[in-house]
Copies of this chain bind each other. A is one copy, B any other.
């Protein structure tokens, strides 16, 4: 029987392409999705590979282990935002409170709208099992983030704009609601039929409160 069957069109698309430099980002993006959905332990690399349009073996051409892939995901999601925040705080002159406001609204926006909001949850969940990951996150993210706020507070106190508050405790009190919002959105939001967490409202209330707490003139009616 001669080969008369019209062979599926001339094109013959290749089964795959070599794309050495696009792969890592694509894999990291896919891994971010899967880790966010399942958590680290329950995430299957087969699934990450499928989402990235690649085979499991390929993951191991670019990342030596599941752990290292996890770290790459965290780096990719956090570091750009952290650098932006540092730049914002460093560039500003004049009164500190408006800078603080801008920082809080920026983070709130990230928390409310981006996938990066799942990172804290993932790190919290796995900190016990990956001490070096916890140390990395503590050193590269938390310490730096706290540093930005702490120096802003110190500047405000020195200039007389702020009351002389306890800096370390206050930094934590500023950050906690944002962190909790990030965790909440990715753990409990949309349960039962509760209304979803209103991040903007929370942040505006938080900023109002901080005005009362930090500024020397108690906020509502300056004399």
A contact set with B: CB distance below 8 Å: 37-39, 41-42, 121, 123-129, 131, 134-135, 138-139, 142, 165-166, 168-170, 172-173, 175-177, 179-181, 183, 186-188, 191-192, 194, 198, 201-202, 205-206, 209, 212-213, 218
Do A180 and B187 have beta carbons less than 8 Å apart? no
Q: Which residues of B contact A177 (CB under 8 A)?
A: 172-173, 176
Interface centre among A38, A134, A173 (most CB of B within 10 A): A173
Number of copies: 2
Do A142 and B188 have beta carbons less than 8 Å apart? yes
Do B205 and A212 have beta carbons less than 8 Å apart? no
Q: Which residues of B contact A179 (CB under 8 A)?
A: 176, 180
Q: Which residues of B contact A205 (CB under 8 A)?
A: 165-166, 169-170, 173
Do B129 and A192 have beta carbons less than 8 Å apart? no
Do A175 and B180 have beta carbons less than 8 Å apart? yes
Q: Which residues of B contact A181 (CB under 8 A)?
A: 172
Do B138 and A39 have beta carbons less than 8 Å apart? no
Given pairs A170-B205, A175-B180, A218-B218, 17 additional interface contacts (CB within 8 A): A38-B128, A39-B41, A39-B129, A41-B41, A41-B42, A123-B187, A124-B187, A125-B125, A125-B126, A127-B187, A128-B186, A134-B187, A138-B188, A169-B201, A172-B180, A173-B177, A176-B179
